[in-house]
Amino acid sequence: MKKSNFKESQISGVLKEHAAGKKAADICRELGVSQNTFYLWKRKYEDMDSAMLRKFKDMEWENAKLKQMYAELSLDHRILKDVIEKKL
């Protein structure tokens, strides 16, 4: 997953501006992001304040690291299992 160039507080502020009535097209033009990105943020973070958003981002990062660790350990396990089977 690509890392966002925007901080949690910025995304939260952008969504608050939109909720206050500012048009999505204007917001996207100012930030230099596509409308798809804006609506992705809206769908994903709409009901979160900046603290919840920060916690969510931290949990996503931790989850990605754990997936990577699992993949590495799984590969190591498979290699060791193959070595043991060949010796027998």
Question: Is 0.75 surpassed by the pTM of this model?
Answer: no
State the pLDDT at residue 70: 97
pLDDT digits (tens, 9 = 90+) for 57-81: 899 999 999 999 999 999 999 999 9
Closest Cα partner for 41 from 18, 64, 65? 18
What average pLDDT does this structure show over 4-27? 87
Distance CA 53, CA 6 (A): 12
Distance CA 3, CA 40 (A): 14
